[in-house]
C-alpha cells in the first residue's frame, strides 16, 4: 500500500496540481507576498479583526490547530528521515514541493470556507468532503465518501500512531522514560482537549503551538550558532545533492537523485500537509468575512512549516554531522 500511495505517479500528480494552481492563482507565492502578510500576521499586529465575520474559532487558532499536525513529527522526524534516506539533496526537493504546496493549500482553505455549512448544533463545518460534494456534482459525492472513509484511517495512522510513537521514542532515548507511560499520558491530555470540541481545541492550540514553535526555533538557532562555520557547506550539500547521486559516508548508505526527489517530496507533503485535506477541516471553522482571506493563512502556513521550520531542523542535522552517524534515523537523529 505504501509503494502504491507514494508512487512516482502520485507524487507527480500532486506536483502537477500544485503547478496548475500556482498558474491559476497568478503565482501568489511570488507576486502576492505583500497581500499574504497584510491579511495574516500583518493584520494581527495591527489588531485588525473581522467584526462581520462568522466562525467558531479565530483565523490564527485555525492556523495553530492545523500546524499542530505539522510541527513535531512532520518537521523534526520528517526532515531527519528525508536526509537519512535521501541525503541532503532531499531538502531541496522538499523546498520545491513546499513552493507548489503554498498554492495548493491556499486553494484548499479558500474552498473550505466557501463551501462550509452549518451543522445541527449551528456550528460551521467544512472540508474536502463538503467542497467536493457541493462543487463537483455526482463525481464529487463519490470523492467525498472516499475521503470521509479515509479520514479516520489517516487520523489514526499518521495523526496519532506516528506522533505518539515518535514522542515515546524520543523520551525513551533521551531519558529512558517508559513508552507505555508516555502513551497513556498523551491519551489523557489529548482526550481532555479534544472532548471540549473545536473551540477548546482552537483555544489550546492557539496558546500551545506558538510556544512550541518558539522553543523549536530557539533550540535550532542555539545549535546553529555553535556550528555557524558549517552552515555554508550545509547549503552547498543541499543544492549539489539535489542533482547528483550522494555517496555513502558514515551511517549514510548513499542515495540516487530519484531517491532524493522521492524523499524530499513525500516528507515535504507529510510535513506541510498541502493537499492531504486535514487543514481545510480546521480552517472551515475559522471566523472570517471572506474565503480568500482564510486561504491566505494556508499560504503562510506552508511557508512557515517547510521553508522556515524544516530548513532550521535540516541545517541542525547537517551542520552537526548527525546525519552521518551509524544507526541514527528519524527521532533519534534529530
pLDDT at residue number 327: 66
Stretch 174-179: mean pLDDT? 92
Stretch 127-138: mean pLDDT? 94
What does the DSSP assignment read for 177-218? --HHHHHHHHHHHHHHHHTTHHHHHHHHHHHHHHHHHHHHHH
Residue 89 has pLDDT above 90, yes or no: yes
**Band of pLDDT at residue 54, cut at 50, 70 and 90:** confident
Residues 140-151: b if buried by 16+ CB within 10 A, e if exposed:
beeebeebeeeb
**Band of pLDDT at residue 174, cut at 50, 70 and 90:** confident
pLDDT at residue number 52: 62
Stretch 305-319: mean pLDDT? 94
Let me know: does 65 contact 202? Beta carbons within 8 Å. Answer: yes
For residue 74, give the DSSP letter.
I
Query: What does the pLDDT look like over 113-122, one tens digit per residue?
Result: 999 999 988 8
Higher pLDDT, 125 or 329: 125
| Cell 522521492 sits on residue | 262
Q: Which of 11-15, 48-52, 265-269 has the lowest mean pLDDT?
A: 48-52
pLDDT at residue number 316: 95
pLDDT at residue number 16: 94
Residue 49 has pLDDT above 60, yes or no: no
* Axis-axis angle for helices 128-135, 89-114 (nearest 10): 60
pLDDT at residue number 326: 66
* Domain ranges across the chain: 2-115+198-333
Stretch 25-33: mean pLDDT? 95
CA atoms within 13 A on the CB side of 23: 5
**Band of pLDDT at residue 138, cut at 50, 70 and 90:** very high
Give the CA radius of gyration of the chain.
20
- Mean pLDDT estimate for the chain: 89
pLDDT at residue number 110: 96
Stretch 204-232: mean pLDDT? 94
| Cell 515515546 sits on residue | 168
Question: What percentage of residues in the chain have a pLDDT greater than 90?
Answer: 55
Amino acid at each position: 500500500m505504501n509503494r502504491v500511495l507514494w508512487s512516482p505517479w502520485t507524487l507527480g500528480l500532486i506536483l502537477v496540481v500544485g503547478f496548475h494552481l500556482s498558474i491559476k492563482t497568478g503565482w501568489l507565492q511570488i507576486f502576492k507576498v505583500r497581500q499574504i502578510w497584510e491579511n495574516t500576521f500583518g493584520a494581527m499586529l495591527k489588531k485588525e479583526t473581522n467584526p462581520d465575520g462568522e466562525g467558531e474559532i479565530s483565523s490564527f487558532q485555525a492556523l495553530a490547530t492545523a500546524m499542530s499536525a505539522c510541527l513535531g513529527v512532520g518537521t523534526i522526524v520528517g526532515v531527519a528521515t528525508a536526509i537519512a534516506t535521501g541525503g541532503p539533496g532531499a531538502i531541496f526537493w522538499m523546498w520545491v514541493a513546499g513552493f507548489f504546496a503554498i498554492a495548493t493549500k491556499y486553494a484548499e482553505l479558500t474552498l473550505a470556507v466557501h463551501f462550509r455549512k452549518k451543522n445541527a448544533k449551528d456550528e460551521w463545518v467544512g472540508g474536502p468532503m463538503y467542497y467536493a460534494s457541493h462543487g463537483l456534482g455526482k463525481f464529487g459525492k463519490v470523492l467525498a465518501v472516499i475521503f470521509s472513509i479515509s479520514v479516520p484511517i489517516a487520523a489514526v495512522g499518521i495523526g496519532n500512531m506516528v506522533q505518539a510513537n515518535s514522542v515515546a521514542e524520543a523520551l525513551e532515548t533521551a531519558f529512558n522514560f517508559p513508552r507505555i507511560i508516555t502513551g497513556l499520558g498523551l491519551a489523557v491530555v489529548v482526550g481532555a482537549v479534544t472532548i471540549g470540541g473545536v473551540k477548546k481545541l482552537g483555544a489550546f492550540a492557539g496558546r500551545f503551538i506558538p510556544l512550541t514553535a518558539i522553543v523549536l526555533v530557539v533550540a535550532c538557532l542555539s545549535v546553529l550558532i555553535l556550528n555557524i562555520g558549517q552552515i555554508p557547506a550545509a547549503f552547498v550539500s543541499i543544492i549539489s545533492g539535489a542533482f547528483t547521486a550522494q555517496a555513502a559516508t558514515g551511517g549514510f548508505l548513499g542515495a540516487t537523485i530519484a531517491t532524493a526527489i522521492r524523499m524530499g517530496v513525500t516528507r515535504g507533503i507529510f510535513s506541510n500537509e498541502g493537499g492531504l485535506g486535514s487543514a481545510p477541516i480546521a480552517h472551515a471553522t475559522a471566523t472570517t468575512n471572506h474565503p480568500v482571506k482564510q486561504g491566505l493563512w494556508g499560504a503562510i502556513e506552508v511557508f512557515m512549516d517547510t521553508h522556515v521550520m524544516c530548513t532550521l531542523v535540516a541545517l541542525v542535522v547537517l551542520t552537526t554531522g548527525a546525519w552521518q552517524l551509524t544507526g541514527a534515523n528519524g527521532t533519534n537523529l534529530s
